[in-house]
Amino acid sequence: MSKAPAERIQALRDSGGYFPLRHRSRIRLTGADRVRYLNGQLTADITKLAGETAKPALLLTAKGKLCAPVLVWKDSDALVVEVEESLREESLARLERYIISDDVVLEDMAPAPQVFHAFGTGASPAGSLKINRLGVPGFDTETEPTHLLMAEPAEVEFLRIARALPAWGAELDTNTLPQEARLETSSVDFDKGCYVGQEVVSRLRSVGRVNRLLHAFHGTLEPTSETRLSLHLPGRPGDVAGTLTSWCHDFELAQTIALGYLNREFDDSESFVAADAAGNALGKLEKRPILT
């Protein structure tokens, strides 16, 4: 007998699982200056990359806004940068823009190889790439695991939202600053040398607060086909407190869990009403902690 949704989620949380990677593209960098050059483009310190271990980083504009969240790792005498498939062309162009006299060659590795990601399973096998894609240790492998539960796309999305991991096209876009999405804790090295966008990111760190901030929520929410909902304080439908960006049903808790941004002046509020574009109230939500 197949497991019920709540049982499957609990199994994935307790024992881990795997899923095939989709919609990912890879850019390979070779040349004598590859490390120095890429270190000047990404927010993470590329000089600290360990073998067979990927590191999250951000590719930014000069104004400190996101071009792309990336994962980067060593591959023999090369570096590999992985991005969302939809960001492949923009990321290639962005990386090429600053190559002047550097000994760096960019190679579009499309199509990306078929890879499976296993998560929450303990030690990674030899030869696999250690990588954190769902908020817990994991690894990529070209061999499909046979001893793990395969997570369906909706279950992967549930784990992402439950662990408050922002995603491109939902919480992240080209107007996002790293600190708004809490990405400075995982993807920014404040002790490294200069990189494109560093001045803005460092200034925001000194200021200590951004105009909006990513939060997690739980509560009730009526089904809707809209991809964005506005957040309001109870009894104050005219005041927009923020935007809900992702949500799904938690079968174990029998309620909705969600992610979204709160505007700075509402950051200390705890209770909200979610509404559609027409102003119809669809549910009540409370903030829940984000573990960092």
- How far, in Å, CA of 275 to CA of 76, rounded? 51
Sign for the CA dihedral angle at 169, 170, 176, 178 comes to: negative
- Asked if residue 117 belongs to a domain, the reply is yes
Neighbour count for residue 194 (Cβ, 10 Å): 10
User: Are 46 and 146 in the same domain?
Assistant: yes
User: Are 147 and 216 in the same domain?
Assistant: no
**Span 122-139, pLDDT tens digits:** 778 888 999 999 999 999
- Residue 225 burial by CB count (10 A; 0-12/13-18/19+): exposed, middle or buried? exposed
User: Are 233 and 124 in the same domain?
Assistant: no
1 confidence band (pLDDT: 50, 70, 90): very low
User: Are 49 and 128 in the same domain?
Assistant: yes
**Packing angle, helices 153-162 and 5-15, rounded to 10:** 60
Q: What Cα–Cα distance (Å) separates residue 125 from each residue in 51, 129, 140, 165, 207?
A: 14, 9, 10, 25, 43
- How far, in Å, CA of 141 to CA of 161, rounded? 24
CATH number of the domain at 260, please: 2.40.30.110
User: Are 38 and 110 in the same domain?
Assistant: yes
User: Are 21 and 128 in the same domain?
Assistant: yes
Neighbour count for residue 1 (Cβ, 10 Å): 3
Domain boundary among 112, 133, 151: 151
Q: What are phi and psi of 12, to 5 degrees?
A: -65, -35
- Asked if residue 169 belongs to a domain, the reply is no
- Residue 276 burial by CB count (10 A; 0-12/13-18/19+): exposed, middle or buried? middle
184 confidence band (pLDDT: 50, 70, 90): very high
2 confidence band (pLDDT: 50, 70, 90): low
According to DSSP, residue 270 is labeled: -
User: Are 120 and 218 in the same domain?
Assistant: no
CB 288 within 8 A of CB 255: no
- Asked if residue 171 belongs to a domain, the reply is no
Give the pLDDT of residue 131. Answer: 95
pTM exceeding the 0.85 threshold for the entire prediction: yes
User: Are 137 and 33 in the same domain?
Assistant: yes
The H or E element that residue 231 is part of is: strand 229-233
292 confidence band (pLDDT: 50, 70, 90): low
CATH number of the domain at 117, please: 3.30.70.1400
User: Are 218 and 142 in the same domain?
Assistant: no
- How far, in Å, CA of 74 to CA of 76, rounded? 6
- Asked if residue 190 belongs to a domain, the reply is no
Domain boundary among 151, 174, 195: 151
- pLDDT for 20 beyond 70: yes
Please provide the size of the chain in residues: 292
- Asked if residue 95 belongs to a domain, the reply is yes
Give the pLDDT of residue 113. Answer: 82
Give the pLDDT of residue 135. Answer: 94
Give the pLDDT of residue 209. Answer: 84
Q: What's the domain range around 111? A: 16-151
Residue found by looking up tokens 């990912």 in the block? 24
Q: Which of 262, 267, 269, 270 is nearest to 231 (CA)?
A: 262
The token duo for 7 is 């049982």
User: Are 145 and 220 in the same domain?
Assistant: no
Q: What are phi and psi of 274, to 5 degrees?
A: -95, 135
Q: What Cα–Cα distance (Å) separates residue 211 from each residue in 50, 181, 189, 214, 282?
A: 35, 11, 22, 11, 26
User: Are 142 and 234 in the same domain?
Assistant: no
**Average pLDDT value for residue range 211-215:** 97
**Span 243-275, pLDDT tens digits:** 999 999 998 888 999 999 999 999 999 999 999
- Asked if residue 185 belongs to a domain, the reply is no
- Asked if residue 164 belongs to a domain, the reply is no
According to DSSP, residue 134 is labeled: S
Give the pLDDT of residue 283. Answer: 96
User: Are 135 and 31 in the same domain?
Assistant: yes
Domain boundary among 118, 151, 184: 151
- Asked if residue 127 belongs to a domain, the reply is yes
* Domains in the chain, number: 2
